[in-house]
Structure formats: structure tokens, C-alpha cells
Structure 1
Amino acid sequence: MPKQLTIGLTGGIGSGKTAVSDHFATLGIDIVDADVISHAITAHNSPILGQLQDAFGVDIVKNGTLDRSRLRSLVFDDPAKLATLNAITHPAIRERILTKLNQATSPYVILSAPLLLESIKGDDKGLTALCDRILVVDVPVDLQIQRASRRDGQSIQQIQAIIAKQIDRPTRLHLADDVVDNSGDLATLYQQLAKLHQYYLTLSSQT
């Protein structure tokens, strides 16, 4: 386990996880971002990139860079291929996450992972095993669709398909220790985060 209080940050597509983690960073909190790590381990000439090419074909790499949209399309509706992808990438991602968590020096640390709760498989707690608390960024599904389609340039149908693959909103909220409502403006979001920040500082001083 990491050496200090670890807050797992997650939420559905378009919920605003980045806005939340960016604000915690301005408060001096170290952020360990699973997405950033995923990109780092598949960088040009990395061993993981080579393993992915062996498993999925050379056309998943363009100009030495992983074509994530191509890889996503290959595994999206194919459980066997998704399992292969996870078997190649997840151990390396978890190892790098642990390293980063243990290097953190802030009073508590945020582990941001879009699929944090989806990593739970039966008795395997996945990345949640590294967390002391789970913070969920919550918005209504229709707002998720609106924000994600505007941000990513994908169709409403594509966003709905992604949401259908993620854990459903009621289950996500049930598994949360803390929830922030991001259906309003940034000022309202930051007010909620200021209170959580003080709460987490108090908790960290007790560990």
C-alpha cells in the first residue's frame, strides 16, 4: 500500500475528472493519473508497444506512435481481445502507479483512474485496493453525453456506447465514499473541493 492517504478519483466519461484533479493540483496535492501512465508505458519503442504490435498487428502503430482509436475499435466489442490488452498493459500500469504513489510527498495523494471501479473483478479489488477512499465526480447521464460529445467530437451514439460499457451511475455512487456534483459551474465545484480538501487534510493527519 502507498505510504500516505490515497484518494481514488473516478467518474463516467464527460463527468469532469480532469477539472477536479487539476484543482487538487493547484492546492498542492500530488496527482497520479492512470491515463498519463498508460500513455507513458506505450511510448515510442517501449517494450509494451512492441507486445501490443505482436498481439494486434503492426497497423495499430502510426509513425512510431500507438493509434489509440484503432486499438480501441479492435477491442471495444471483443472481450477476448480486451482481455489480451489488459493482460499486457495492466501489470505495467499498476507497477508505475505504485511507484508514483510512493514518490508522492503531499499530505495525501490523488489516484485518478477513469475505470477505477471497473477494475474490481469479484474478489480482486483492482486499483481500489490502493485507495483509502473513493471520490466520484457525478453528473446526470444527459450532461455526460452533452459534454463528452462536445469535447471529443464523437457522436451521441458513440458516447452512449462508451457509457454502456462503464459501470452504471447508481452502482458508482453506491461504491463512493465521497461525491462531488459537477453539474454546475466551476465555482460551485471548487467550493465542494475546498471542503473535501480540508477533510482529507484532517484524515491524513490522523494516519
Structure 2
Amino acid sequence: MGRKAFYGAGSQWRNHPIGGMGLTTSYRCLLILIFVFIFKVKIFDNQDINMGNEQVLEIRKLSQKYAYTSIQMHETIARKAGFSGTDHKYLGFFLQRGKLTAGELAELTGLTTGSVTALIDRFEKKGFVKRQADSVDRRKVFIVPDSEKIINLLKPFYQDFQDKTENLIASFSSNEREVIESYLTKALELANQTISKLK
């Protein structure tokens, strides 16, 4: 192919974004096809990115909605169990850890020293905990829970939800459960990091 044939495009193509390169018809067609292909790939890539961003946003919104709904559920259970606010949730720390000092409970709950003292007083009045001096250091006082009484109070409200939650988790495949566990673990780490920064 001669140089003139390769570059001899008409004036009508010379000012066109594609034809202006002066290619022969077959090369112009090839270039157009490549251009269209690249353009479509670019659009699909952008769509994938947009869809990915939308999915991330939707999952974040669902996480927030779950957190808000969880708070509502706990508040509803609290009222049914005869508690004000979310006092009953703090009983869970005693079930998990056993006896605690007031300082340890304050650290776990994020409550002030005064609020923790008032919380312990309310629990003690209901018979859920008792104050017990350390056998070695009498200045140190443990808050000892009556675990059986706490479980008997809360089990009727939580057992059905707990069973259904376990069944829901079991319905996912092993790989899916690993993804869920990874997300929740990292989400908890992020939340704890945020709490530490704000202290």
C-alpha cells in the first residue's frame, strides 16, 4: 500500500475526529470498531464501579438500620422485663464475665463512675447482683451477679430470637459464614477504634 493511498483521505474526513486521520475506508472501519469497543468497555467498567459503590452504600444503610432496629428491640424487651432504658443489656456483661468491679463495668459500658454506681444500686435492689469485698484486699469490691436469676428473667424474651438467629446463620454456606464473620469482626474493630478515639 502506497503512502498516498494510506494517507489520501478526502477533505470531508480530514476534519472529523476519526476520519481526519486520513485512513482508508477499511482502516477507518477498523478504527471505528475499536473505538466503539473501547467506549463500551469504558461504559461497562463505569457501570460496574457505580454498581459496586451503590452496593456498598446499600449494605452500609442496612447495617445502620439493623443497629437502630436492635436498639428498638432491646428497649421493647427492657420495658417488658420491667427495666428502664437499656439497663437489662448491662446484665449481659455479668453473664459473660462473671463478677466485676465498678471500674471494670464502667470500662465495658462506657458509663461514668456515678452512672455505674446508680446502675449497680438498681441491680442490687432487684436482687440481680450483690457487692462483695475482695478476700485479700478489703478495699476492692466486686459486683457478683446472680446469674441464674438473670437468665430466668431474660431467657423468655431472648430465647426465640436467639434460636432463629442461629438457624439463620446456619442457613448460609461455610464460605458465606466466613465472610459474615470477617465483616462483623472488622466492623467491631472499627467501632472500638472509634470509641477509643472519642474517649
TM-score (norm: length of structure 1): 0.21
Relative contact order, CA 8 A, sep 6+: which one is greater? 1
**Bigger Rg, which one:** 2
**Higher share in strand:** 1
**Higher share in helix:** 2
TM-score (norm: length of structure 2): 0.21
